[in-house]
Amino acid sequence: MLEKIKETVDYIRQRTDGEPVAGIVLGTGLGGLVNEMEIKNTLHYSDIPNFPVSTVKGHKGQLIFGMLGGKNVVAMQGRFHYYEGYSMQEVTFPIKVMKLLGIRLLMLSNAAGGVNPDYNIGDMMIIRDHINLMGNNPLIGKNDTSLGPRFPDMSEPYDKKMIRLAAKIARHHGMKFQVGVYAAVTGPTFETPSEYKYIRIIGADAVGMSTVPEAIAARHMDLPCFAVSVISDLGVEGKIVEITHEDVIDAAGLVEPNMTRLIREMIETSDL
């Protein structure tokens, strides 16, 4: 596994300049952050050795290197989802590559369904913790101790300093935001009303089909992690309506400017 990661890292290093300090994963409908970047290099996933290829609409499938907030970053425009049929190892492969490229912070974004009755469509939710309901874990299998321990600690899955910084920046700009717990499911079905209710009862504020495998892989490697959801629909009794993937993309697009600004200013202000 490490051999494959190193092969990919070598390929990327030969084609990019500057070591990225942060890696950003752009979720459904949130790819526009790259328009704020001073782009230096773009690599298509299909050209990168050992990279899986993205299949879902709204996910472009490219790795973009450049400056954001005055620092070198790498952005994944399009991620790999478990529901696409990729293994957990494939889903998390790019995270390991970015770690070996030198990133010191992983920033994850996604669109999610709100199950907290106080949430509204268009809210940003800073993720403070997660519940893994995927029935799988990217660390199952032989452990590579050069990456991290067999039994990784998860007492602080999302970096507290980064959460505080995000809240400060959002407040400063008068952006509406929540801080909550993200439950990860496999999808690709959206939830039934009873599943939304169950997810709420067990302590989540939002539910989605990504982010948790990547966060687990990051914490395994002791890479600090920050994650934010945009609430694209509601799984709250009385507010559940029929939804499509297009609705999720559209709702996420409305929050994208705020999310982009938040991420840019976090990178700008933090000592990475």
Chain positions contacting ligand HPA, by CB under 6 A: 111-113, 187, 190-191, 207-209, 232-233, 235, 248
Distance of closest approach, residue 35 Cβ to ligand HPA, in angstroms:
23
- Sequence-separated (6 or more) residues with CB below 8 Å from residue 47: none
Backbone angles phi, psi at 52, to 5 degrees: -70, 170
State the nearest-atom distance from the C-beta of 188 to ligand HPA, in Å: 9
Distance CA 88, CA 137 (A): 7
CA 70, CA 9: separation in Å to the nearest integer?
A: 23
Tokens of 158: 């999302």
Cα separation, 26 vs 78, in Å, equals 6
Shortest CB 244 distance to ligand HPA, Å:
10
Q: 39: helix, coil or strand?
A: strand
Which residue number, 113 or 157, has a Cβ lying nearer to ligand HPA? 113
Is the CB of residue 80 less than 8 Å from the CB of residue 94?
A: yes
**Measured from the CB atom, is 100 or 124 closer to ligand HPA?**
124
Residue 85: strand, helix, or coil: coil
Indicate the residue among 65 and 119 with the shorter CB distance to ligand HPA. 119
Choose between 28 and 270: whose C-beta lies nearer to ligand HPA: 28
Report the nearest approach of ligand HPA to the CB of residue 149 (Å). Answer: 30
Closer to ligand HPA at the Cβ: 85 or 188?
Answer: 188
**Tally of CA atoms within 13 A in the half-sphere of 242 that contains its CB:** 0
Distance of closest approach, residue 71 Cβ to ligand HPA, in angstroms: 30
CB atoms within 10 A of CB 231: 27
Distances (CA, A) of 263 to 10, 98, 185, 252, 266: 28, 17, 25, 15, 5
Least spacing, CB of residue 96 vs ligand HPA, in Å: 25
Distance CA 206, CA 182 (A): 5
Residue number, 45 or 182, with CB nearest to ligand HPA: 182
CB-based contact 193:237 (threshold 8 Å): yes
CB of 49 to ligand HPA, least distance (A): 31
Nearer to ligand HPA, 174 or 238 (CB): 238
Q: Which residue is nearest to ligand HPA (CB)?
A: 113
